[in-house]
Amino acid sequence: MSVITPELLTRFDVPGPRYTSYPTADRFVEAFDEADYVQALKDRKSGLVGKQLPLSLYVHIPFCESLCYYCACNKIITKHKERAADYLRYLTKEVELHTRHLGLGQSVSQLHLGGGTPTFMSDDELRQLMAMLRKNFDFVPGGEYSVEVDPRTVDENRLAVLAELGFNRLSFGVQDFDPSVQKAIHRIQPAEQVFKLVEASRRLGFESVNVDLIYGLPLQTPESFDRTLAQINSLRPDRIALYAYAHLPERFKPQRRIHAQELPSGGDKVAMLARSLDAFVDAGYVYVGMDHFALPDDALAVAKRQGRLHRNFQGYSTQADCDLIALGVSSIGRVGATYSQNAKTMEEYCDLLDQGHLPVVRGLALTRDDLIRRSVIMALMCQGHLQYESINLAWLIDFKSVFAKELEQLQALQDQGLVQLNETGIQVTALGWFFVRGVAMVFDRYLQADRNRTRFSKII
């Protein structure tokens, strides 16, 4: 029997950040603007931010043909395909503005197309997008080049185009295979369709195929989700991302179409999570952390074994802790010791670009304290352990003095078997790895100051 019992999951069923960054995006301020971002780009070009690692690129494609009721992403629902061509012109403007400050030919080792639905774009538009990016950046061999795919928008021929364009990783949005659940969330996609696409992806030579699942959706039960888990294990994707549905209709209008009385109880949600953990681990998947599972030979699982995991705004990554250039409406990036976010509406995004401005509308310049705490949180989130001496040498501090209150708080987590503390450092236990967000939260100065956790998803 798994040590991850429903009782244990319930005990730690509290909201908390996902720590794709620290400080988290809710701390961004409008006082950080285009001028601050441009300075960060110039600092990178001049080498003031230290040794330059290859860039990571994120491109947000906001369009979807139909509305999924659970969705909390920044998206535009439209059947007007011509909007993609117009958007591509604005992405080109945005890239050209970047290269004015960065110069042409910056190395890129990671690309992610997200959305929305990137495959809303036609094959020719995707070709134009990739040609534009390759004209301005130098994509290095062996990088991670991934794209999110709505199975309803592609066939094997379209997957072949993605392979031809250099993508080597795919992420399919599945959520649930149960027909009644699919109907309740307005996303009908037969399991056979997904199975065929994954099979085709393997024939085409994609290095890794990820499948996204969501538990806590309307009409789901532990028994119905067991059937989806069995189908996923039969499909055997290289990676699985398992997310909890957060019902926030007051913040996300599409969720108002979900009937609250059809949502599973808290107890059923916890049962679904517990059974999912057991099902995937029993099927041979490695729990990478933070909702992510991977087959033992997948690059993500290998990186975890070798202590090479990193985190960025897309989640866990095998790529080094590098600057992230974010392109498109609402995208969030990181350059040097800064975070930045583009305008969230298409109108403002396009208007700023028409005026010759980068569309950055808010962000954050990290303080020394932010940077120290980020290094601590990312060590715990990615490696699961931290040596006091490494932080002391890197930041010229005395860890035990600076973080005396935090170490005192960790005693309670040690008593619960989640961490081990000793004279030299902190070790997250095998059990604690399932609740690592809760461990990281102890070092979040902002969270500890205001204790306002309602804005976050549950830590499990």
Together in a domain, 223 and 309 = yes
Q: What is the 3-state secondary structure (H, E, C) of the chain?
A: CCCCCHHHHHHCCCECCCCCCCCCHHHCECCCCHHHHHHHHHHHHHCCCCCCCCEEEEEEECEECCCCCCCCCCCEECCCCHHHHHHHHHHHHHHHHHHHHHCCCEEEEEEEEEECCHHHCCHHHHHHHHHHHHHHEEEEEEEEEEEEECHHHCCHHHHHHHHHCCCCEEEEEEECCCHHHHHHCCCCCCHHHHHHHHHHHHHCCCCEEEEEEEECCCCCCHHHHHHHHHHHHHHCCCEEEEEECCCCCCCCHHHHHCCHHHCCCHHHHHHHHHHHHHHHHHCCCEEEECCEEECCCCHHHHHHHCCCCEEECCEEECCCCCCEEEECCCCEEEECCEEEEECCCHHHHHHHHHCCCCCEEEEEECCHHHHHHHHHHHHHHHCCEEEHHHHHHHHCCCHHHHCHHHHHHHHHHHHCCCEEECCCEEEECCCHHHHHHHHHHCCCHHHHHHCCCCCCCECC
Question: 37-73: per-residue pLDDT in tens?
Answer: 999 999 999 876 545 789 999 999 999 999 999 988 8
Same domain, 295 and 404: no
- Do 218 and 134 belong together in one domain? yes
Tell me what the mean pLDDT of segment 27-43 comes to.
96
Q: For residue 422, tell me if it sits in a domain.
A: yes
Q: Which of 325, 347, 380 is the last residue of a domain?
A: 325
Name the one residue in this structure whose structure tokens are 């990478």: 288
Angstrom distance (rounded) from CA 300 to CA 283: 17
Residue set of the binding site for S-adenosyl-L-methionine: 58, 70-72, 115-117, 148, 175, 187, 212, 246, 332
Residue ranges for the known binding site are 58, 64, 68, 70-72, 115-117, 148, 175, 187, 212, 246, 332
Residue 453: per-residue pLDDT: 47
d(CA 439, CA 380): 8
For residue 223, the domain's CATH number is: 3.80.30.20
Q: Which among 325, 348, 376 is the end of a domain?
A: 325
Query: What is this structure's pTM?
Result: 0.91
pLDDT at 454 over 80: no
pLDDT value of position 238: 97
- 305 and 384 in a single domain? The answer is no
Say if residue 303 is in the same domain as residue 389. Answer: no
Average pLDDT over residues 208-217: 95
Contact 215, 276 (CB under 8 A): yes
* Rg (alpha carbons) of the chain, rounded to whole number: 22
329 contacts 83 by C-beta, under 8 angstroms: no
Q: Are residues 136 and 260 in the same domain?
A: yes
In a domain, 171, yes or no: yes
Residues marked as binding for [4Fe-4S] cluster?
64, 68, 71
315-320 mean pLDDT: 80
Domain boundary residue, one of 270, 292, 325: 325
- Distance, in Å, from the CA atom of 314 to the CA atom of 380, rounded to the nearest integer, reads 18
317 and 402 both lie in a single domain = no
Residues 121 and 243 in one domain: yes
Is 284 part of a structural domain of the chain? yes
> What gap in Å lies between CA 74 and CA 97, rounded to an integer?
23
- The percentage of the chain sitting over the pLDDT mark of 70, rounded to a whole number, equals 95
363 belongs to a structural domain:
no
* pLDDT value of residue 9: 73
Q: What is the CATH number of the domain that holds 406?
A: 1.10.10.920
- Cβ atoms of 364 and 338 within 8 Å: the answer is yes
Overall domain count for the chain: 2
If asked whether residues 377 and 234 sit together in one domain, one would say: no
Following CA atoms 195, 197, 199, 201 in sequence, which dihedral angle do they give, to the nearest 10 degrees?
-150
Same domain, 197 and 97: yes
Considering the domain boundaries, does residue 354 fall inside one? no
Write down the mean pLDDT value for the chain: 91
Stretch 215-239: mean pLDDT, rounded?
Answer: 96
- 360: which strand partners? 342
Owning domain of residue 231: 31-325
Query: Do 279 and 419 belong to one domain?
Result: no
Question: Is the same domain home to 63 and 193?
Answer: yes
State the CB neighbour count (10 A cutoff) for residue 86: 11
324 pLDDT higher than 90: yes
| pLDDT average, residue stretch 20-36 | 94
Residue 212: what pLDDT? 95
The more confident residue out of 460 and 20 is 20
Q: Is 351 contained in some domain?
A: no
Q: Does residue 218 belong to any structural domain of this protein?
A: yes
Decide if pLDDT at 291 tops 90: no
Residue pair 129/121 in contact (Cβ under 8 Å)? The answer is yes
How far is residue 340 CA from its own chain's centroid? 16
Q: Measure the CA–CA gap between 238 and 132, rounded to whole angstroms.
A: 30
Is 98 part of any domain? Answer: yes
Q: Which of 24, 22, 26 minimizes the C-alpha distance to 374?
A: 22
